[in-house]
Amino acid sequence: MQDHYKKFDLTNKVAIITGASEGIGRDMAIGLAEAGADIIICSRREDKLLEVKEAAEKTGRKADIYIIDIRNVSEIEGLKAFIKAKTDKVDILINNAGYVVTKPAWDISESDWDAMVDTGFKGLFFCCQAIGSIMREHGYGKIINLSSTYSQSVFPGRSVYAGIKAGINHLTEALALEWAPHGIRVNAIAPTAINTPSRHTTLQGPILEKVLARIPLGRLATSDDLIGAVIYLSSVASDFVTGHTLFVDGGWVAAS
């Protein structure tokens, strides 16, 4: 009998996580290290990345940092060059970096639009392209894009964000189709509202009540809820899964 549990082991895999300085990016990076992966963590904030690096290395795995603003394609190419020089191998890419402005659609400015689209969609695509090209050389890789329940079910004040996340789902399918012959699996994870420190100020009172009322399981998501899904989609256990968006949402979309 096969030991199916071992299929989830990420020992000696190399994982890149963008937006890894805090929140769910930080927690996913440490979760991947705990599952056995060596990690390269990326964001604009070196001080925070150093804290994540220290926490990840306590698991016994290697952790490198790379300072990057993924709105700039030249910096993404710099990340690719760094990887080629460092390991020449990438098994897993987690596209977590994003930016959100919560405003009525009437009030969205061009700068708001550019910040959200350039980070959450343009940056994500060119990270897929640059890091995916390294995976192509080895004939294997796992790309996981961070989507959202707002990709299918909207909420006031999140019009542009919802449009980006819907685009990520569709882009995930398109890349999965194109890159399957190269052994690259491309999937997305779509969480509902996550109970992170940055949300404590926004998810309060009536807003929190409205959100909870739309989640059949009756609570916000936590980073731990996502880590299992990330490990699954990063591992050989999901080798026959591609082009899929996995909703980790407590039933939000089903209820909508």
pLDDT confidence of residue 163:
97
211 burial level (CB within 10 Å; 0-12, 13-18, 19+): middle
What pLDDT does 2 receive? 65
Question: Known catalytic residue: 161?
Answer: yes
pTM for the whole structure: 0.94
- Chain mean pLDDT for the chain: 93
pLDDT reading at 1 higher than 60? no
> Cβ(158)–Cβ(107) under 8 Å?
no
Mean pLDDT of all residues in 126-146: 98
Asked whether the predicted pLDDT for residue 122 surpasses 90, the reply is: yes
pLDDT at 8: 95
| Burial category of 135 from C-beta neighbours within 10 Å (exposed 0-12, middle 13-18, buried 19 and up) | buried
Measure the CA–CA gap between 148 and 134, rounded to whole angstroms.
27
Contact 73, 129 (CB under 8 A): no
Confidence band of 159 (pLDDT split at 50, 70, 90) = very high
Measured CA to CA, the distance from residue 68 to residue 78 in angstroms comes to: 9
For 16-64, write each residue's pLDDT tens digit: 999 999 999 999 999 999 999 999 999 999 999 999 999 999 999 999 9
pLDDT above 60: residue 76: yes
Predicted confidence at residue 207, as pLDDT, reads 76
Rounded CA separation 73/113 (Å) = 18
Question: 104 to each of 62, 108, 123, 156, 212, how far by Cα in Å?
Answer: 43, 7, 24, 7, 21
* Average pLDDT, integer, range 129-138: 97
CATH of the domain at 196: 3.40.50.720
Per-residue pLDDT tens over the stretch 195-223 = 766 565 666 677 788 888 888 998 888 88
User: Residue 83 belongs to what domain range?
Assistant: 4-255
How many structural domains comprise the chain? 1
The predicted pLDDT at position 3 comes to 79
| Residue showing tokens 């550019």 | 114
| Identity of the highest mean pLDDT range in 135-149, 151-165, 212-226 | 135-149
Q: What is the mean pLDDT of residues 11-20?
A: 96
Query: Is the pLDDT higher at 204 or at 194?
Result: 194
Write down the pLDDT at residue 200: 55
Mean pLDDT for the stretch of residues 111-137: 97
pLDDT band at 156 (very low <50, low <70, confident <90, very high): confident
Q: Which among 5, 140, 150, 161 is annotated as catalytic? A: 161
The whole-number pLDDT of residue 78 equals 97
pLDDT at 213: 84
- pLDDT score, position 201: 61
Q: Rg for the chain (alpha carbons), in Å? A: 18
* pLDDT at residue 199, as a whole number: 60
State which H helix or E strand residue 87 sits in: none
Residue 99: enclosing H or E segment and its boundaries?
Answer: none
SS3 10: coil
Q: Exposed, middle or buried by CB within 10 Å (0-12, 13-18, 19+), for 132?
A: buried
